[in-house]
Amino acid sequence: MNTRIDTDCVIVGGGPAGLMLGLLLARQGRDVTVVEKHADFLRDFRGDTIHPSTQQLLGELGLLDEFLAKPHADMQRVMLSWHGTELALADFSHLPTARKVMSFMPQWDFLDLLAAEAARYAGFHLLRSTRVDAITHDGGRIGGVVATGVDGSLDIRARLVVDASGRDSVVRDAAGLTPSGVAAAMDVLWFRLPKNGDETYPFVQAGAGMLITIDREEFFQIAHVIPAGTWTGSDDDLARMKERFRSISPRLGRVAAELVADDVHLLRVRLERLRRWYLDGLLCIGDSAHAMSPAGGVGINLAIQDAVAAARILGPALHRGVPELVELRRVQRRRAWPVIVTQAVQRALQGPLLSTTRPGAPLPLPLRMLRRHPALTRLTGRFVGLGARPERLG
């Protein structure tokens, strides 16, 4: 069965950028169709960080109380344990936001919140279990997508196609947009460890490598930074990883002793971006436009801010008719600078994130500066918590 759908904007990808943009456009009275290939949002490679700037946005949308009613953990300062010596990396307590914390919430809960709020608007449509197969053209411009849903083929025609489907985007590839970037020096191992009672660990632990521990109440979600291309999943790889754990955190090393290779998932880090985010009828945002390192969880923040800027600039254009190239270009010009700055910082951090040292080794210079001048943690807190160019609804 071939079904035709006409909409103002079709958004490919139901992640943070796609759902936020869909919600914001629906609030403006636009007809929006979000196409999501999965049946739900329950996937492991979802970041948990909800930054102060995003929580400020939720407050503007009247969703902050609903957000806070969901299970979450708050962090006012990002702490690092360096061979047992603790110091602050970033301090959010002085930010000009209503909530001066970074919160951790399973992303599926956050996406459910956005989807439920967007569903209150008659013009919002979320198509789950729907895979985009191709883009279509209307004269010389991109005019929609062809997709396969639970009931068959869909021909979705739109004034604008927004690709928010991530760094392995089918839409971006079909449009001939190819990202350029710098080869990432690191990968991330992602897995769960059981939680015993009320035990806690520092958020970041460093020494013979780096561990990030996210407390999800019922278990710990672990991110372990490793040099790129060094994980094959072999028994030797697993044994070396457990040895690093014991060196970095003996207590966590004991918990990790029962891990098997199938418990560990590899996330290959890519730092890349499109030179041009748009074509006539198409705009890329989020990881589709710029894949980020997971450092600081800032990729989610950037993606959401892309969505806010796109809604503010393109919502009125969609009301008038078909957005012009100059309006699509305005979105990229607004968002490209913070992406470039953030990726430059992330590239510079790859060395320190991968450094391995023995107990007693001196603190690296950036950490010594933060310890000697605590006020600097307010600057790092602002960079992580707000981003290089925060966006507002108005």
Chain segment 220-267, per-residue pLDDT in tens = 889 998 888 899 999 999 999 999 888 888 888 888 999 999 999 998
According to DSSP, the β-strands at 204-207 and 209-215 are antiparallel
Residue-level pLDDT at 112 = 95
Q: Report pLDDT digits (tens) over 334-371.
A: 999 999 999 998 888 777 667 766 666 777 778 889 99
Comparing 104-118, 237-251, 272-286, the range with the smallest average pLDDT is 237-251
Q: Is the pLDDT of residue 389 over 70?
A: yes
Q: How many CB atoms lie within 10 A of CB 21?
A: 31
Beta-carbon-side half-sphere exposure of residue 87 (alpha carbons within 13 Å): 19
Burial bucket for residue 76 (CB in 10 Å: 0-12, 13-18, 19+): middle
Name the band, by pLDDT with cuts 50, 70 and 90, for residue 22.
Answer: very high
54 three-class SS: helix
Instruction: Please give the Cα distance from 17 to 302 (Å, whole number).
Output: 9
Name, in order, each residue with C-beta under 8 angstroms of 289's C-beta and a sequence gap of 6 or more.
273, 274, 277, 306, 332, 335, 339
Give the residue, 118 or 268, on which the prediction is more confident.
Answer: 118
Name, in order, each residue with C-beta under 8 angstroms of 394's C-beta and a sequence gap of 6 or more.
312
Per-chain mean pLDDT for the chain: 91
Query: What is the enclosing helix (H) or strand (E) of 73?
Result: strand 73-75
Q: Is the pLDDT of residue 1 over 70?
A: no
Q: Report pLDDT digits (tens) over 32-52.
A: 999 999 988 766 556 789 999
Name the band, by pLDDT with cuts 50, 70 and 90, for residue 106.
Answer: confident
Percent of the chain residues past pLDDT 90, beyond the cut? 66
Q: What is residue 356's DSSP assignment?
A: B
